[in-house]
Each structure stands twice: as C-alpha cells, then as structure tokens.
C-alpha cells in the first residue's frame, strides 16, 4: 500500500510540475495570395497584428494571381487576396468566390537599366513598350499568370505589339514571382514590369532604376474574397470572413497605410471605394 501511495504522489507531483495542458493552437485559415503581398514584406506586418487581435492564424500560399485563383477554385484556400480585378470578378461571377472587397492599391512601374538603351523613360507605358520591342532590348516577363503578368500582356496589346509573334531572344519568360523576375532583370540588366511595393523592398537592384511611372494605366488594385462555401463546405467561413473584415476595417486599413520602407508607403488602403485612389 505504501508503494501505491508513493506512486500516486509521484504522479500528482509530475502533473503539478508540468502545469496545465498546452492550449490548442489558434484556428488557422489558408490565404491564397499574390507574391507581391509576401515579397514586399506586407504580410510580415499585417498577419501578426491580425492574429493578435483575433487569435486566428494565417497560412499564406503565395503564387501568381491566376494560380492563386485556381487554388481557390479547387477549395484549397479559405480566402483569396490578389490583384487582377477582371479575373477576380470572373472568379466571383462563376461562383468560385463570394463577397469581393476592395482593399488597397499601389502602382506598376517599368524598371530597366539606368542607361536606358531603348529610350523607354517617361510616363507612357505603351510608348515605352513599343520602344523596348523596337530596340529588342532585354525584357524579363514573369510569365506566371500573375496579376503583374496579366497587366504586362495588356500593355503589349495596347502598344499594338503581338509579343508572342514578334519576340525572340530579347524577351525572356521565367514563370516565377516578382522577386525572381527582378533578380533576373538585375543579372541581365534588362527591363521588367514590377509592382512598386516589391521593388521598394528589393535589395539586389544592380544598375536598375525606375524608368516609367505615373501613367494612370499603371494603377494596381488589390481585392479580397471568400472562397464559396456552397461549393467547398470545408471553407472556414467565420475565420475567413474575420480576416476580410479586419483588412477592410479602420484598424486593418491603418496597418496597411503604416507599412513603409525608408519612409515610403508601399500600399494605399481604399476599402469602401470602387477601386479608386
């Protein structure tokens, strides 16, 4: 009996030393998003603030916008946060997503060699693309169905250039995100279309500089939406909607506005608008 009592006492002491059971991890949602929200460093600022406020964790799948939308179509994410408004509206219209909201914007820029061999510098993106094509100056395309890639293809079309038919060795598609595209452009001393946020956070600039900016066509809107739970019952509706609501709330919008690199704001909140500054 003494042996039994000593064993029970020992077990009780072990439980007391160990303390209470570890709390369950917070509910975690999956957000399929563009590479620019991650590679710009924005998510490193936003997500801890959201989790601290709600107790909800966020796992990010960072892809080009087209691929991120496909993740949502398969039901492999709870929320999609991307930047190709036409593609997002199609995503909602086909029933893959619900409740799209405007969140923020920045702009695209054309980056290239400081020497600007094509003479692309200015405020007209289509004129710049025509000059780059005419000079057959090295150009790096993401080629990844991202929002940036979709914008690039629109600019070639607006410039009257069938890039698929006319390109040769000067046009390099890499099928990767914005960071690798900028690294490739830096290594090649080539032109590339970038979102401003990723460029500002990019360190390996080499001899590259911003050459084209200020064209209204370079406006870059971001939107967020819930993956349709009617199609995918596993979607975490309550937690996913909490993330969306936080992004467009005054607190979330202020957190977006406060994110700066060397004093320069990367993204501009515009929830509640129709995609305007």
pTM: 0.84
Phi-psi domain of 263 (left: phi exceeds 0; alpha: psi -120 through 50; beta: other):
left
b/e per residue 163-199 (b: at least 16 CB within 10 A): beeebeebbbebebbbbbbbbbbbebbbbbbbbbbbb
| CA distance linking residue 62 with residue 31, whole number of Å | 8
For residues 194 and 256, membership in a common domain is answered with: no
For residues 192 and 119, membership in a common domain is answered with: yes
Contacts for 226 with CB less than 8 Å, ≥ 6 apart: 78, 79, 97, 98, 99, 235, 237, 240, 241, 244
Kindly report the CATH number assigned to the domain that includes residue 85: 3.40.190.10
Domain that holds residue 190: 107-218
When divided into structural domains, the chain yields a total of: 2
The string of pLDDT tens digits covering residues 207-254 is 999 999 999 999 999 999 999 999 999 999 999 999 999 999 999 999
The string of pLDDT tens digits covering residues 161-188 is 998 887 678 999 999 999 999 999 999 9
**Contact in structure between 74 and 151 (CB atoms under 8 Å):** no
pLDDT value for 275: 73
| CA distance linking residue 245 with residue 258, whole number of Å | 18
Indicate whether 3 belongs to any domain.
no
| CA distance linking residue 15 with residue 19, whole number of Å | 6
């Amino acid at each position: 009996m003494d042996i039994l009592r000593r064993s029970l006492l020992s077990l009780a002491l072990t439980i007391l030393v160990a303390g209470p059971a570890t709390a369950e991890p917070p509910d975690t949602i999956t957000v399929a998003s563009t590479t620019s929200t991650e590679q710009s460093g924005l998510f490193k600022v936003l997500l801890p603030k959201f989790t601290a406020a709600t107790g909800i964790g966020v796992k990010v799948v960072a892809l080009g916008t087209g691929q991120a939308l496909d993740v949502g179509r398969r039901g492999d994410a709870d929320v999609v946060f991307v930047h190709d408004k036409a593609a997002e509206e199609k995503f909602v219209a086909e029933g893959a997503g619900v409740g799209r909201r405007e969140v923020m914007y920045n702009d695209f820029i054309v980056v290239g060699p400081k020497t600007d061999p094509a003479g692309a510098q200015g405020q007209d993106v289509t004129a710049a693309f025509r000059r780059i094509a005419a000079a057959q100056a090295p150009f790096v395309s993401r080629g990844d169905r991202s929002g940036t890639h979709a914008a690039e293809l629109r600019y070639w079309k607006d410039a009257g250039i069938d890039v698929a038919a006319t390109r040769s060795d000067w046009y390099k598609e890499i099928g990767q995100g914005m960071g690798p595209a900028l690294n490739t452009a830096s290594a090649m001393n080539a032109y590339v279309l970038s979102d401003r946020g990723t460029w500002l956070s990019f360190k390996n600039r080499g001899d590259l500089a911003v050459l084209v900016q200020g064209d209204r066509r370079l406006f870059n809107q971001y939107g967020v939406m819930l993956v349709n739970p009617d199609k995918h019952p596993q979607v975490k509706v309550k937690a996913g909607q909490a993330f969306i609501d936080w992004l467009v709330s005054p607190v979330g919008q202020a957190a977006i506005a406060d994110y700066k690199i060397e004093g320069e704001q990367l993204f501009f909140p515009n929830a509640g608008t129709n995609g305007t500054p």
